[in-house]
A and B are shown apart, each in its own frame.
Chain A
Amino acid sequence: MSDITSQSLFELTSNIKEKKLSSEEITKAFINRAEKSKKLNVYVTDNFEKAIDQSKKFDSNPNLDFKLPGIPIAVKDLFCTNGVRTTAGSKILNNFVPTYESTVTQNLWSQGAILLGKLNCDEFAMGSSNETSFFGNVQNPVGENLVPGGSSGGSSAAVAANLTPVTIGTDTGGSIRQPASFTGTVGLKPTYGSCSRYGIVAFASSLDQAGPMTKNVRDCSMLLEVISSFDQKDSTSIDYKRNCYSKELSKDIKGKKIGIPKEYRVDNMPDEIEQLWKNGISYAKDCGAEIIDISLPHTNYALPTYYIVAPAEASSNLARYDGVKYGFRSPGQNLIEMYEKTRSEGFGDEVKRRIMIGTYVLSSGYYDAYYLKAQKVRQLIKKDFDDAFSKVDAILTPSTPSSAFKIGEKTNDPVSMYLNDIFTVPINLAGLPGISIPAGKDKNNYPLGLQVIGKPFDEQNILNISYALEDRINFKNDISDWWLSE
């Protein structure tokens, strides 16, 4: 049997069901490795002691019908966990201990999973490199001083470094898919309305979705099956019949029509990304898929649209952090001064920048010029996809315009940081499902990902296409464990 922590969720689950491994053995293996991996800075808060207790409890009376029987899982620190500190990577929530559980994490525990701890992320999920976290940057296990992507950077690093078998992240403009691409892992953003947003610290409510981050496509299908559910507590949750994604997983994609959008061939895109894309196309052909050239004419307008819509929603959502009911408070002579000092000291620079953008575009006299304009362009972007999906079953693109960059490389230029999400943002604006799978490496041996985009609620189809491509690509993440300490 291979080392416990390097096993996939599928292998661990099988080993528990066949009584080859106990939950306690597995839980302790991940904890031991975490103790030696502090240099990566993936954990904001660990739950190790309680996790061991829970694993023993599971082993004493194991329910093997569960989908995640006794499996320890660490989650992004954006999910409220009852009794376990939830910070969203921010000083303003540094001391916040929720008294309720997010629906998505509750779905994990209801299927037998055990909370290992809370993973680092960009502050309020605003960032593409995990460098905006109040708790410091995360190291990408792929190479020293590389960013793990963001905002789910602690999550992507933890999966790649074998510190959790799988995890869940959130994706508002690429925050699952971009870090997955940077770390050689799989990340899926489901259709808007698939996974409940209840109990997730809100960033931009019309774009936010939770989703699985895993070592491979099969694990991804297993985890999606658990977390995707209709929820009365989320007013935009959609009631539809969800597939048994793992049972219906198939490599047979013969005859599937896959669209290649010409607008994703952006200026200055490195040759190796172009090559990666070409390889993906030829693998899809090998699997019997039909390749069709398509056009998504408003692609170039997606990022400017996103940087109006997302900050506008964020400025409203983050109005609740005022130092009154929970979180950090900075004292003031009067109420207004307390608000202003609390927010000034409690939020980091990127969050403040976005609140300022949002406040400006929603302010009197500017609403029509910015916010309304953006919502109109968002309609055009959505229509591009509607038109494309009348001709094809799925769309194949690169996940990111580059591989992982160095820590500090882009922190002084917000716009160059934003450009990282050029291929992922349109999918959130249109509410579609998208998955990033590792597909190759660049000249530095850093991973690169391909993205498969699907019709609304067609997660099964993009999982199947990814499953078929994964088999052909046969990606191996060679990670040297350079960070381990004794």
Chain B
Amino acid sequence: MSIDLKTVKHISKLARISVDDEKANKLKGDLNNIFEFIEKLNELNTDNVQALTSIAETTLRFRKDEIKSENIREKILKNSPEENKDFFVVPKVVE
């Protein structure tokens, strides 16, 4: 199976990474090489194998639903790309 240019453009849309035609063509070549290598898995019959879901054989822990940190608004906003003391700023999304 090979990945065509249209598929590359579709994946880049899903991944929210814009690519121009030149990059898309380069990616097409790379991805096809990588997937050719990955196809090796099809040699194996895995019909009766249960998929691994967690490598650590433990169940997730429960904890009390408590607030442990206070007044962290400033810390959270500190690395915001556009300064505004109360909110994260993004381009307008509603008209």
Known: A329-B82, A343-B16, A375-B51. A324 touches B90 (CB 8 A): yes
CA distance A341 to B80 in the complex (A): 17
Assess the B38–A334 pair: CB atoms within 8 A: no
B-contacting residues of A (Cβ < 8 Å)?
A: 95-97, 99-100, 192-193, 206, 232, 235-236, 238, 298, 300-301, 303-305, 307-308, 315, 322-329, 331-341, 343-344, 347, 352-353, 355-357, 359-360, 363, 370, 372-380, 382, 413-415, 418, 429-431
Assess the B38–A353 pair: CB atoms within 8 A: no
Residue of chain A at shortest CB distance from B42: A373
Decide yes or no whether B31 CB sits under 8 A from chain A: yes
A-contacting residues of B (Cβ < 8 Å)?
A: 3, 7-8, 11-12, 14-19, 27, 30-31, 33-34, 37-44, 46, 49-56, 58, 60-61, 63, 72, 75-76, 78-82, 88, 90-93
Known: A344-B17, A352-B17, A363-B14. A97 touches B44 (CB 8 A): no
Assess the A359–B15 pair: CB atoms within 8 A: yes
Select one of A303, A339, A343, A378 contacting B52, CB under 8 A. A378
Residue of chain A at shortest CB distance from B61: A235
Select one of B31, B60, B80, B92 contacting A235, CB under 8 A. B60
CA distance A355 to B11 in the complex (A): 9
Min CB distance B14 to A, Å, is 5
Residue of chain A at shortest CB distance from B51: A375
Select one of B14, B52, B78 contacting A376, CB under 8 A. B52
Extra pairs beyond A301-B43, A356-B15, A376-B50 (5, CB < 8 Å): A236-B54, A298-B44, A340-B17, A344-B19, A415-B34
Assess the A300–B40 pair: CB atoms within 8 A: yes
Assess the A376–B46 pair: CB atoms within 8 A: yes
What is the predominant secondary structure among interface residues of chain B facing chain A?
loop
Select one of A315, A328, A413, A415 contacting B81, CB under 8 A. A328
Interfacial chain B residues near A414, Cβ < 8 Å? 30, 33-34
Q: What are 23 A-B residue pairs whose CB atoms fall within 8 Å in the complex? A: A97-B78, A99-B72, A100-B75, A206-B55, A232-B61, A235-B61, A236-B54, A324-B88, A325-B76, A325-B88, A332-B91, A340-B18, A352-B17, A353-B27, A355-B17, A356-B31, A357-B34, A374-B41, A376-B46, A378-B51, A378-B52, A414-B34, A415-B34
CA distance A429 to B39 in the complex (A): 18
Min CB distance B30 to A, Å, is 6
CA distance A100 to B75 in the complex (A): 9
Assess the B15–A304 pair: CB atoms within 8 A: no
Residue of chain B at shortest CB distance from A300: B40
CA distance A37 to B82 in the complex (A): 37
What is the predominant secondary structure among interface residues of chain A facing chain B?
helix
Assess the B15–A379 pair: CB atoms within 8 A: no
Residue of chain B at shortest CB distance from A191: B56
Residue of chain A at shortest CB distance from B38: A304
Residue of chain A at shortest CB distance from B27: A356
Select one of B16, B60, B75 contacting A99, CB under 8 A. B75
Interfacial chain B residues near A232, Cβ < 8 Å? 61, 63
Which residue of A315, A327, A357 has the most chain B CB atoms within 10 A of its CB atom?
A357
Interfacial chain A residues near B41, Cβ < 8 Å? 301, 304-305, 308, 373-374, 377
Interfacial chain B residues near A326, Cβ < 8 Å? 79-81
Known: A344-B18, A380-B46. A323 touches B60 (CB 8 A): no
Residue of chain A at shortest CB distance from B47: A376
Min CB distance B2 to A, Å, is 12
Assess the A430–B55 pair: CB atoms within 8 A: yes
Min CB distance A93 to B, Å, is 9
Residue of chain B at shortest CB distance from A352: B17
Assess the B15–A341 pair: CB atoms within 8 A: no
Interfacial chain A residues near B11, Cβ < 8 Å? 356, 359-360, 363
Min CB distance A321 to B, Å, is 10
Assess the A238–B58 pair: CB atoms within 8 A: yes
Assess the A382–B55 pair: CB atoms within 8 A: yes
Interfacial chain A residues near B90, Cβ < 8 Å? 324, 335, 338
Assess the B12–A307 pair: CB atoms within 8 A: no
Interfacial chain B residues near A357, Cβ < 8 Å? 31, 34
